[in-house]
A and B are shown apart, each in its own frame.
Chain A
Amino acid sequence: MKVKALSRSTADYTRETKSDIQRLPRNADPAQHPLERAREYKRALNAAKLERMFAKPFLASLSGHVDGIYSMAKNPWDLDLITTGSGDGELRVWSLSAQEAVWRAPGAHRGIVKGVCNVPGGDTDRFLSVGVDKMAKVWSRSEGALSADGETPETVASYSGKHAFSGVDHHRSRPLFATSSSLVEVWDVNRSEPIASLTWGADTTNTVRMNQTEVNVLASCGTDRSVILYDLRTSSPLAKLVMALSTNAIAWNPMEAFMFATANEDHNVYTFDMRRMDHASNVLRDHVSAVMDVDYSPTGHELVSGSYDRTLRLWDVNRGHSRDIYHTKRMQRVFCVRYTQDDKYVLSGSDDSNLRLWRARASERLGAKSNRERATVEYAEKLKDRYKYLPEVRRVLRQRNVPAAVKRASRTKQDMLQSRKRKAENERKSSKAAAAAPRVPERKKGILGVTTK
């Protein structure tokens, strides 16, 4: 007789001392895991519900400015510090970890501070500001001496332009910066006059942004509804894109140097490939009022936009609708938004003079996670991703409390768009000329034309 019966030694399955971890043998045999599909679905539903339960995106409101915040800059070399410029000409540097202003310059400009930017490179804490007082100023927390009244710090350098400035951006590596006013000017920091003036058309420009990866390219947008790309090497424009409504802000994708996003007056955010601008590579539509600012996450996969409808929206760059909407009762029209460099937070500056700090992912917990916690979170993410198309899970994941005004406006907007569409269809049916005209894809609708030089 040959016989063996199962006999497990208790010592093999229990821990020796209390400091050991418990042994948990696993067996992946499907027969041991009945109803796994239904249980997985239930877990996915629970994960979706927990996500919405823990979704508390608002972290802090930093008050101090007495007028609205109209410009903001993050520093790629410093996670903590954020520079803001206000409507009354005040500049502040905020520490996000301390949640307070660490430096301020009241009356830095006369009138609105239209743009701020940091001087790249980790070895300097200089930053630039421009205002409607036709001045561009360089500031530093460490170098600048305090003025006689002990309050307003002295500038490190200042440059005076011919027109009121509307935006500023610094070159990634060279001591150059670009300003926008009625024309785009490129300045050498060591000269008092601009070294190049770039124009294409006569209208004023809203803003200028330098590409931080493909460093010789910069883009500006103007009130003539144009977005113009320039090349620094030839000091001449490359291409001009004219849209149906004007663009308020531009953001370059930090990972794909040829992609940029524009915040448009027509409530949409467009992303473009600068090599082929005859169509947008994506149209992000959810806002119900003009989009005032847009910024890429450092990964280049996500976007944040702030709008005149008093909300922020977060987007996946490849999707057409926002993945989240942030708002508070007190937040007014949003004029500037930034993704922080660690991809974890979003900042917004609005009309109500507060700088607000938000989580980039509403339900994500802060701080270090244990391995088990991280594994659980990853599992939950995967489950949600897997079952996101099922009605129950989708309903939970998509549910958002939206301000009544936004909801109303979006309903009205939807009606308008639908009736327009219906009308176009009816025209198509009834008139031969209309029927013969080609249909315009959504990604081309907002674009009037592209000219290259």
Chain B
Amino acid sequence: MENKETYWSENLRLIFICLAIWFAVSFGLGLLLVEPLNAIRLGGYKLGFWFAQQGSIYSFLALIFWYGAKMNKLDKKYHSEG
């Protein structure tokens, strides 16, 4: 029972970290900080614009795989069925 609760709390912690990164990348870099980031160029594109259009999607994909890998480790740690 205790194991299940710890597993769930670690899972929740991971979800909140993912959501925080999701918010920071999409709203933070793509909207709130778009003007200062636009002063930097990446491959000819303004960085703020690039984050809003492409960077955030790449980050979301990376986040999904990172979450999957972390959850796999968590499953092994708590001997949960994968």
Chain B binds chain A: no
